[in-house]
Amino acid sequence: MCVRADGDCAVMLGRSPASLLIREVGVLEEFFTPRSVAVVGASRDETKVGHAVFANLLAGAFEGPVYPVNPAGGVILGHDAYASLEDLPSVPDLAVIVVPAQRVPGVIEQCGRVGTKAAIVISAGFRETGPDGAALERELMALARTHGVRILGPNCLGLISTRSGVNASFAPVMPSVGSISFLSQSGALGTAILDWAAGAGVGLAHFVSLGNKADVSEVDLVRAWAEDEHTGVVVAYLEAIGEGRAFVEAVRDLVKRVPFVALTAGSSDAGARAVSSHTGSLAGSRVAYDAAFRAAGAIGAESVEELFDFAEGFARQPLPSGAGTVILTNAGGPAILATDAAERHGLRLASLEAATVEALRAVLPPAAAFYNPVDILGDADATRYGAALRILADDPGVHSAVVILTPQAMTEPDETARLVVDAANETGITTLAVFMGDQSVARGRLILKEGGVPNFPFPERAVATLNAMQQHAVQMARPAARACAVSGDIAAVTEAIAHARAAGRTFITEASAQRVAEAYGIPVPASGLAAEAVAARELAARIGYPVVMKVASPDILHKSDIGGIVLDIEDEAALDAAYETIMGRVAQRMPDARVWGVTIQQQLPPGREVIVGVNRDPSFGPMVMFGLGGVYVEVLKDVTFRLAPVSEADAREMVAEIRAAALLRGVRGQQPADIDAIVDVICRVSALVTDFEDIMELDINPLIVGDRGAGAIAADIRIGIGG
């Protein structure tokens, strides 16, 4: 079964029918739940990676056999080494390879011969080292494809799966069991995070270091984890996404079940340089990542800290079932900080119902603050916290809570933690805690953690996490958006492109671009050629006054210079007069020019100028852009992007979300612009560039938009095609 988004598995896999099978998702199970593992290059030398990997596999909870393979033989950590894979008593499901790079292809061949279908190549010395290494990597992959062996790496830290107890890595720590599955495009960052996660008590389901991604990629892992019951949230550190479209599709599938949180690095200009020197890949731009994440339903984190804050929130608490948040606190200061943060994120504090306030009054001292944030005062004991939280959770407008505790004289952090955990579990509202301080609240924090309520040291981080969860919940609740239904005249566009290609051009001429637009129903000014005055009258009547008349001649380049253009022709009399005038001027000023007649064009109505454009990202494909024209685009860069194809809802959001959107809705007594007409053009452009991969870029600038109901018209359209 071929699961590549482009359906082109045969090409990718060398057209060998056998090898087609290896793209099946299921095969990754041999990486995560192998029955047996061989470490090829296992070493007695404790300073060697080959020793660390073998020791890690033995030390973990993995119950199957682990075979050390080393041609030198000997005993490694009490196990007799085998000379080669072929000497093992059984076929290992998984081979972990830590031999020098030059010897790796040979080991892959062995895998193929014995029937091992999964290999982790930890060894470095491949593409990351230059052309020779790249050649070796190609050799390795050719063999892997021939033999149907899936490869993780090369040049990676390895893989950890806590449920099956597999630690097929040289990471010095084994994380505890949890529901976070983490993939990292940086091995070193992976190590650091594993170390940190162990210290912070963050549990993982799987950890994978991707290395050079010669075969297994982030897309494969996302697909595999979409079907893994132990994965509650997928967390990724990404530097470059190869198959952008497949990635978006895979994540879109994944997030139907579990959230996907990612930190993308190298998306700044300076960062992108660092990526190139680091992995030899080109980083997608920030704009492309943002558009792709939005299309996929992924959640972007701004820092490593945020990545795991979000992960903890998603892993431990249910998504909020609505938008109302309550802040419960025993101190004003941190509640104000939380409120400020909520305001920054656009998180809505619930307005409590009268009955809720009444119930609170019955259990809280009169000096308490009964409106959100609810301040139960510095002398609040655990019972007061528990009672208030339950009353708040009963309010139909409350769907999530941030519970803030500062250690004061009467504070009972441990018992409060217990009651918060109970209330969270029993009421089902999303509950995040902010037990501030260190020693005084250490045990309370532990109780929270064990009870599944994530704790954050400062209010801002809890609020940011809750906001991410809220955003995700909203996105999940939204009906699946369908791409705008637009059926264009495929033949007409194909011809225009072919014509430009035949002429050796990388763009489509203006007239031809108008026809392409018309083929997809994008309104362009009506126009036509009239050979003489009577024909001009008929044409103008058909187009509708006012019209513009231009001399049509292959010999007159600068029509306006010789007075060959007349604007604002309001009626037939004016049309006749204009025809006379133009012909007279041409006869007088360019008597030798060949004259085909005149072009009659619809005069453009007045309106607001906007821009609709397309740019094709090398990884994620076409992105549709919308913005106000002129200085708004050039100076203020007030534009927004979506991955094509867009839905009508997307297009409507685009129009609404630019900073200057109010100018379209109408300000200062101005009529609203015809937003429906803009949405329609965005949809049609999206369909056009989705249907034609040859279209590399497209600009409708300006699209002139009339008042509501008056439509929009593409005054100028430029289309660039692949070379």
Residue with tokens 């091995």: 187
We find the least distance from the C-beta atom of residue 445 to its own copies, in angstroms, to be: 11
Single-letter residue type at 512 = S
Q: Which is nearer to its own copies, 370 or 507 (CB)?
A: 370
Q: Which is nearer to its own copies, 198 or 565 (CB)?
A: 198
Q: Binding of its own copies at residue 242 (CB under 8 A)?
A: no
Residue with tokens 């990545």: 307
Tokens coding 308:
């795991």
Q: Which of residues 282-311 bind its own copies (CB under 8 A)?
A: 302-305
Q: Are 168 and 52 in contact (CB under 8 A)?
A: no
Q: Which member of 277, 592, 606, 669 binds its own copies (CB under 8 A)?
A: 277
Residue 578 C-beta-side C-alpha neighbours within 13 Å: 26
Measured in degrees and rounded to the nearest 5, phi and psi for residue 255 equal -70, -5
Alpha helices in 508-552 (DSSP H): 510-519, 533-543
Residue with tokens 């292959």: 554
Q: Which of residues 200-229 bind its own copies (CB under 8 A)?
A: 200
Part in contact with its own copies (CB under 8 A); list of ranges 61-69, 227-235, 265-273, 547-555: 265-273
We find the least distance from the C-beta atom of residue 52 to its own copies, in angstroms, to be: 7
Burial class (CB in 10 A: 0-12, 13-18, 19+), 87: exposed
Q: Which is nearer to its own copies, 61 or 442 (CB)?
A: 442
Q: Which member of 107, 174, 291, 341 binds its own copies (CB under 8 A)?
A: 341
CA–CA dist 172, 56 (Å, integer): 8
Give the distance, in angstroms, between the CA of residue 286 and the centroid of all CA atoms in the same chain: 10
We find the least distance from the C-beta atom of residue 435 to its own copies, in angstroms, to be: 9
Q: Which is nearer to its own copies, 459 or 621 (CB)?
A: 459
We find the least distance from the C-beta atom of residue 506 to its own copies, in angstroms, to be: 26
Task: Give the pairing of strands 79-80 and 94-97.
Answer: unpaired
Q: Which of residues 361-420 bind its own copies (CB under 8 A)?
A: 367, 369, 371, 373, 375, 378, 406-409
Q: Which is nearer to its own copies, 2 or 368 (CB)?
A: 368
Q: Kindly report the number of other CB atoms within 10 A of residue 414's CB atom.
A: 17
Tokens coding 596:
């085909």
- Give the chain's radius of gyration (CA, Å): 33
CA–CA dist 116, 111 (Å, integer): 5
CA–CA dist 242, 690 (Å, integer): 19
Q: Which is nearer to its own copies, 75 or 667 (CB)?
A: 667
Q: Binding of its own copies at residue 266 (CB under 8 A)?
A: yes
Q: Which member of 181, 231, 267, 601 binds its own copies (CB under 8 A)?
A: 267
Q: Which of residues 121-140 bind its own copies (CB under 8 A)?
A: 129
Q: Which is nearer to its own copies, 117 or 461 (CB)?
A: 461
Q: Binding of its own copies at residue 635 (CB under 8 A)?
A: yes
Q: Which of residues 546-565 bind its own copies (CB under 8 A)?
A: none
Part in contact with its own copies (CB under 8 A); list of ranges 167-175, 515-523, 557-565, 675-683: 167-175
We find the least distance from the C-beta atom of residue 386 to its own copies, in angstroms, to be: 19
Task: Give the pairing of strands 565-569 and 374-375.
Answer: unpaired
Tokens coding 79:
């196990």
| Residue 231, CA distances (Å) to 125, 240, 370, 722 in order | 32, 23, 40, 41
- Binding marks (x or -) toward its own copies, 10..49, rule CB under 8 A? -------------------------------------x-x
Q: Which of residues 173-202 bind its own copies (CB under 8 A)?
A: 173, 184-189, 191-196, 198-200
We find the least distance from the C-beta atom of residue 463 to its own copies, in angstroms, to be: 10
Q: Which is nearer to its own copies, 189 or 481 (CB)?
A: 189
Q: Are 280 and 608 in contact (CB under 8 A)?
A: no
We find the least distance from the C-beta atom of residue 86 to its own copies, in angstroms, to be: 30
Q: Which is nearer to its own copies, 41 or 112 (CB)?
A: 41
- 261 forms beta bridges with 235, 299
Q: Which member of 172, 544, 584, 618 binds its own copies (CB under 8 A)?
A: 172
Task: Give the pairing of strands 158-161 and 204-209.
Answer: antiparallel
We find the least distance from the C-beta atom of residue 47 to its own copies, in angstroms, to be: 8
- Binding marks (x or -) toward its own copies, 315..334, rule CB under 8 A? ---------------xxxxx
Q: Which of residues 67-126 bind its own copies (CB under 8 A)?
A: none
Part in contact with its own copies (CB under 8 A); list of ranges 14-22, 436-444, 498-506, 597-605: 436-444
Single-letter residue type at 589 = R
Q: Are 368 and 328 in contact (CB under 8 A)?
A: no
Q: Which of residues 659-688 bind its own copies (CB under 8 A)?
A: 659-660, 662-663, 667-668
Task: Identify each DSSP E strand in 472-620 by its residue range.
Answer: 507-508, 527-530, 547-552, 565-569, 597-602, 608-617
Q: Which is nearer to its own copies, 90 or 176 (CB)?
A: 176
CA–CA dist 359, 583 (Å, integer): 88
Residue with tokens 């062995």: 110
Give the distance, in angstroms, between the CA of residue 179 and the centroid of all CA atoms in the same chain: 22
Q: Which of residues 461-500 bind its own copies (CB under 8 A)?
A: 461
Measured in degrees and rounded to the nearest 5, phi and psi for residue 432 equal -120, 140
